[in-house]
């Protein structure tokens, strides 16, 4: 069997399914260019998608890999996390030769100008490499004035047992604690664990992290992105979020590669690229 990329519909939304000859697969929605599923084998889903995720045309989808652009969270005047996750992207080039690779694009237009008066092209490239998923976001300034943006790949990683989950690689780094008024907090010198709400921004964070979920191990590498965001809403907040629900916080952690503290500035004609790579290391 060879690799393939096929269109299909999920919850009334046009999507692409990438399949590797070794059985790995990924699904990407044109809505938001959002990766909704990554399976390293047919029965091994690695991403979390909420069973209560919005199915409405213009809504944000809770789970997978939302593309946050051109504003992270409330760090600016725009709607939370910007508009990229709310709009329909266009399918671009596809390649199934070495690794199934799909490109989706969003360019500025009447929908974006009222929100952000800049001329840009965003391109998301999703590649299904052996035991790994590589997602690259490229932003081009196609206008005549410089602009600034913040951005992130807001990855929801599925976990089997939240109390058995730890994230290593950030132990010696201070962070902004968004769950406690963004107060700067000294390095903890222990792996991140998820007991209650965790909402942290690690500025200029290391670019190789490891998520342990009991015996399962996942590598998270970033290039081009400066910061790392770690989020789990905890029980109380999860229960109050309509498209999550009681108990859903037990099924994921977000480990986000972003540039959110100091915005990226692009001169006319300039491009910026950020990559997040998820790699299955070991475990059943």
Among 3, 17, 20, 81, binds ligand G6P (CB under 6 A): 81
User: Could you give the CA distance from residue 225 to residue 273 in angstroms, rounded to a whole number?
Assistant: 8
Site size with ligand G6P, rule: CB under 6 A = 11
254 scored as a contact of ligand G6P (CB under 6 A): yes
- Between 37 and 228, whose beta carbon lies closer to ligand G6P? 228
Q: Minimum distance from CB of 244 to ligand G6P (Å)?
A: 8
Pairing of strands 156-158, 252-266: antiparallel
User: Could you give the CA distance from residue 41 to residue 159 in angstroms, rounded to a whole number?
Assistant: 16
Q: Minimum distance from CB of 233 to ligand G6P (Å)?
A: 7
Q: Which stretch binds ligand G6P (CB under 6 A): 73-81, 87-95, 143-151, 165-173?
A: 73-81
Sequence-distant (6+) residues with CB within 8 A of 199 are: 177, 178, 179, 230, 231, 233
73 scored as a contact of ligand G6P (CB under 6 A): yes
25 scored as a contact of ligand G6P (CB under 6 A): no
Contact string 183-212 vs ligand G6P (x = CB under 6 A): ----------------x-------------
Residue pair 69/107 in contact by the 8 Å Cβ criterion: no
Q: Minimum distance from CB of 121 to ligand G6P (Å)?
A: 24
Residue pair 225/152 in contact by the 8 Å Cβ criterion: yes
**Residues near ligand G6P, by CB under 6 A:** 60, 73, 80-81, 154, 178, 199, 229, 231, 254, 256
């Amino acid at each position: 069997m060879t690799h393939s990329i096929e269109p299909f519909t999920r919850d009334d939304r046009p999507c692409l399914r990438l399949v590797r000859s070794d059985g790995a697969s990924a699904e990407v929605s044109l809505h938001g260019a959002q990766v909704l599923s990554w399976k390293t084998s047919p029965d091994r889903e690695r991403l979390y998608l909420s069973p209560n995720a919005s199915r409405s045309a213009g809504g944000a989808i809770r789970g997978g890999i939302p593309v946050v652009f051109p504003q992270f969270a409330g760090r600016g005047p725009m709607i939370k996390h910007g508009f990229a996750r709310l709009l329909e992207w266009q399918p671009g080039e596809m390649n199934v030769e070495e690794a199934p690779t799909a490109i989706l694009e969003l360019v500025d237009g009447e929908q974006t100008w009222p929100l952000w008066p800049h001329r840009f092209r965003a391109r998301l490239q999703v590649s299904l490499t052996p035991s790994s998923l590589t997602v690259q976001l490229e932003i081009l300034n196609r206008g005549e004035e410089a602009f600034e943006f913040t951005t992130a790949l807001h990855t929801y990683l599925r976990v089997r047992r939240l109390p058995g989950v730890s994230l290593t690689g950030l132990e010696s780094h201070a962070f902004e604690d968004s769950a406690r008024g963004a107060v700067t907090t000294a390095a903890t010198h222990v792996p991140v664990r998820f007991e209650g709400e965790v909402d942290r921004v690690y500025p200029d964070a290391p670019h190789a992290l490891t998520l342990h979920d009991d015996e399962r191990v996942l590598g998270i590498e970033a290039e081009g992105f400066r910061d790392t965001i770690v989020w789990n809403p905890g029980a109380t907040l999860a229960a109050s979020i309509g498209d999550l629900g009681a108990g859903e916080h037990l099924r994921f952690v977000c480990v986000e590669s972003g540039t959110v503290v100091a915005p990226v500035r692009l001169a006319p004609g300039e491009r910026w690229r950020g990559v997040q790579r998820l790699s299955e290391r070991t475990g059943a």
